[in-house]
Amino acid sequence: MSPLASRWAARVLALAAGVGAALAQPPFGILPGLLGFALILVLIDRADGARPLRAAFLRGWLAGVGYFLVSLFWLTEPFQVNAVQQGWMAPFAVALVTAGMALFWGAAAMAYRVLAPRGVARVLVFAGVFAAIEWLRGHVLTGFPWDLPGEAWKAGSPVSQTASLAGAYGLTWLTLVIASAPAVIREGRKGGAVVACAAGLLAALFIYGAIRLGLAPATAPNAPLLRIVQADVRQESKYDPEIFSSIVQRYVSLTAAPAARTPDIVVWPEGAIPDAMEDYLAPGAWPREAIVKSLKAGQTLILGGYRLADANVDPPVVFNSLAAFRRQGDQLTPIGLYDKFRLVPFGEFLPFDALAGQLGIKTFVHVGDGFTAGPRPKPLRLAGLPTVQPLICYEALYPGFTREGAAASGLRPAWIVNVSNDAWFGATSGPWQHLNMASYRAIEEGLPMVRATPTGVSAVIDAFGRPLASLPEGALGVIDRPLPPALEPTPFSRFGDGPFAVMVAASLAFGRWRRTRP
């Protein structure tokens, strides 16, 4: 094969390796696809020619393109809500985001090529560099930690329980070590030993997880009863004022549906009612009266929506919020409020807003003035009920929010509530991926999670990340389930990403030692 043909074959293989690694993620669950990382390592090692670093970057970037193209193809769906005006943007948005996310993998490939020693120790350097770059992807410019390699294991499975020790980033390092080890299998006895150690590591993770899952406590008999309402309201329907009343009626009728035991807490999703809270919850407004009638005395309603904090300024201050109300007599009394901290770039706010306005980009992306970010997440005290940590929509992608809130407030919550508007994803893999990633926050913290979405997937998730009950995409109904018990604080809830930092530092230090050793 000519050098030119060989280079093109390597590029195609890099793209295919990224696709294979992405197919390991739910809902596909093709775990052998993780071996794509071994192929990526081999291809970067073989990057040669006059500019080997440039070749390594290109192969890493192409692998990233394949990975994120599969992981993020659901990004076309939000543009179909207003397909006439915005549908044409969909392929450009997917291409831009995919290419941008892939830059992280290109940078990781180039850094690995600079730092990697000769010999089998380079597997550890590969895992350390790529895991560190994935951490950066989750933090740079607010971050976007969608489909971390460590979250390829289905939440609630034995291997996923390792996130309770080192979080999703620590599990990413371990996953990359295991998945890339076969790249050195042909390098004599040392290569075989590395593969055997990787297999032993995988077995150890499985055994640890199986033991942990076997220690699950029983639900307390006096645990609060939850009702999650999923009204199956499509995103495009929310912009039709003629069906506003039917949306409200869906939610209140499901809330008031008969039950053997009256739920203590009713949870509606993010953006359940397509109007400002100040309007539909205003005294005398008919939606407020309908909501009050759907609740029984003493019941608590948790819902997501937007609120105008100050409409008298220009631009107005608007928050994406979660609010808790309790019916007391014939009144709906507010008992808790949380404003979303981590907003979606280009969806809820426009980065570099002033510059974008001057360049005319602000009008192009249709974000308007967007939302204002709230304070960093802290637990909510709800009188007479277990303390809860709210997470709105994609805040559930970020490891550590709950532990940071507990540290700042000195109060550990008993559960996590995640209200989300997954209707934006449409009927794609997006809702299932979001469910899996959110469930990792339960594993990391040792806390149960309740997820409410308008179109699915809504679920009650135990502290091990296992869905105990769920409503799939397109389902209309409710989930009535007692709140699962919380576990003792996990190592991750105590130390956060500290163990992960040790893993990365140790692998890079070992690689440097191997490079300098005669």
d(CA 253, CA 248): 9
**Residue 134 known to be catalytic:** no
d(CA 174, CA 162): 9
The rounded distance, in Å, linking the Cα atoms of 203 and 472 is: 32
Q: Which two tokens stand for residue 172?
A: 């990413």
CA 496 centroid distance within chain: 17
How crowded is the C-beta side of 94, counted as CA atoms within 13 Å?
18
DSSP state for residue 65 in the 8-state scheme: H
Phi first, then psi: what are they for 217, rounded to 5°? -80, 160
**Site of tokens 């539909």:** 280
Q: Indicate which residue of 151, 154, 238, 340 is catalytic.
A: 340
For residues 371 and 320, the answer to whether their CB atoms sit within 8 Å is yes
Are residues 149 and 172 in contact, defined by beta-carbon separation less than 8 angstroms?
yes
Q: Are the CB atoms for 460 and 447 separated by under 8 Å?
A: no
* Residue 449, phi then psi, degrees to nearest 5: -130, 140
293 in active site: no
| Neighbour count for residue 259 (Cβ, 10 Å) | 11
Catalytic residue selected from 151, 393, 444, 445:
393
Tell me whether residue 340 is one of the annotated catalytic residues. yes
- Are residues 70 and 23 in contact, defined by beta-carbon separation less than 8 angstroms? yes
* CB contact at 8 A, 292 and 327: yes
Cis bond upstream, residue 315 (ω within 30):
yes
Query: In the block, which residue shows the tokens 């300098």?
Result: 516
- ω into residue 457 within 30 of 0, thus cis? yes
What is the residue whose two structure tokens read 């990340």?
465
User: What is the distance between the alpha carbons of residues 219 and 460, in angstroms, rounded to a whole number?
Assistant: 13
The C-alpha torsion from 231 through 232 and 235 to 241, rounded to 10°, is -50
Name the catalytic one among 270, 348, 445, 473. 270
* Secondary element (H or E) of residue 146: none
- Active site members: 270, 340, 393
